């Protein structure tokens, strides 16, 4: 079997793209999107009709509503290609507003349900700020499943699990990027075992399994197939089409890297009320910087999407 088929024996494979026409050949279980991926897709000629259709039928709607309609339009097309769930992201500009995030999440679910899609097939993506995590707790209590994104630390992961989030998306590649940039010329390319992004997900995985949290873990934002293979056995992995293609072309054997037999002997429970969360984040320069950067970049791309809808 090729590496993609081998990986599917250990892990649910998820496609990370807005280019839904590229999904079918990899037969993923689920798919994820974000503002940057949707922006990239709508600029392709193949998706201009979809964009123009949304513009034409939402001319009298508010800009927020038009944006939601565009995101859901892509989600609906993606759901035709997969048997499982699609993740649709709440506007990153609401990352520090719990009430607004809850309201936007409900609007997205309503649009999917109006199109005849069960909420069980939708994950609402929310940035893993304290306010976003509180919003997820509210949405989960109402049967709306959440995917907590822009996650870079164990403290974020614990808070999400305690809030009852359905799924978290730790960003492997962006963690790797931070450490590589920080090391500068002293950087030595790590093996998968020593990759800082891979190690972060493993830490979260063992913490969840040790304390019995049911929140799913989905490694995300990969830079190479080595990072993906290093997390074989994780609950889910969301992978770009380029890396899915590389896995599909290789027949090198892979083995599971994450299972409870590898559990560390001692895992200390960490406090995770608001004060502890904010303190731990403040002490973690990487997580603080990458969370802030990720929100900024998604906000920039959201504005670009709005300009396309207004053009």
Q: CA nearest 147: which of 89, 186, 203, 103?
A: 89
Question: What's the token pair of residue 61?
Answer: 């709607």
Cα angle 10, 172, 134; round to 5: 95
Residue pointed to by tokens 């793209």 = 17
Helix axis angle, 154-162 to 285-310, nearest 10°: 70
Of 8, 12, 106, 125, the active-site residue reads: 125
Please indicate whether residue 290 is annotated as part of the active site: no
Note every long-range contact of 142-145, with CB atoms under 8 Å and residues 24 or more positions apart, other chains counting. 142/106, 143/119, 144/105, 144/106, 144/109, 144/119, 145/85, 145/119, 145/120
Nearest 5°: phi and psi at 2?
Answer: -75, 170
Alpha carbons 192 and 287: distance in angstroms, whole number: 20
First to last CA, the chain: 47
Pairing, β 122-127 against β 86-89: parallel
Residues designated catalytic? 125
């Amino acid at each position: 079997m090729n590496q993609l088929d081998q990986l599917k024996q250990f892990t649910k494979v998820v496609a990370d793209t807005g280019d839904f026409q590229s999904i079918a050949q990899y037969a993923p279980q689920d798919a994820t999107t974000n503002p940057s991926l949707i922006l990239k897709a709508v600029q392709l000629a193949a998706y201009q009709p979809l964009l123009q259709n949304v513009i034409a039928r939402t001319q009298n709607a508010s800009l927020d509503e038009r944006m939601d309609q565009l995101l859901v339009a892509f989600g609906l097309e993606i759901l035709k290609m997969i048997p499982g769930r699609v993740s649709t992201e709440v506007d990153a500009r609401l990352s520090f507003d719990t009430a607004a995030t809850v309201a936007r999440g409900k609007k997205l679910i309503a649009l999917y349900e109006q199109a005849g899609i069960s909420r069980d097939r939708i994950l609402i993506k929310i940035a893993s700020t304290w306010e976003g995590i509180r919003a997820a707790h509210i949405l989960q209590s109402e049967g709306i499943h959440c995917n907590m994104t822009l996650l870079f630390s164990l403290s974020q992961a614990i808070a999400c699990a305690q809030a009852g989030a359905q799924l978290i998306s730790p960003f492997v590649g962006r963690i790797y990027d931070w450490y590589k940039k920080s090391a500068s010329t002293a950087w030595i390319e790590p093996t998968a075992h020593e990759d800082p992004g891979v190690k972060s997900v493993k830490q979260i995985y063992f913490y969840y399994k040790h304390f019995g949290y049911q929140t799913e873990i989905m490694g995300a934002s990969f830079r190479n197939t080595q990072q993906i293979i290093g997390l074989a056995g994780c609950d889910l992995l969301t992978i770009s089409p380029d890396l899915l293609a590389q896995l599909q072309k290789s027949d090198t054997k892979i083995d599971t890297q994450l299972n409870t037999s590898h559990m560390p002997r001692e895992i200390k429970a960490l406090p995770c009320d608001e004060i502890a969360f904010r303190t731990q984040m403040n002490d973690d320069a990487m997580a603080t910087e990458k969370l802030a950067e990720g929100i900024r970049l998604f906000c920039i791309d959201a504005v670009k999407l709005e300009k396309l809808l207004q053009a």
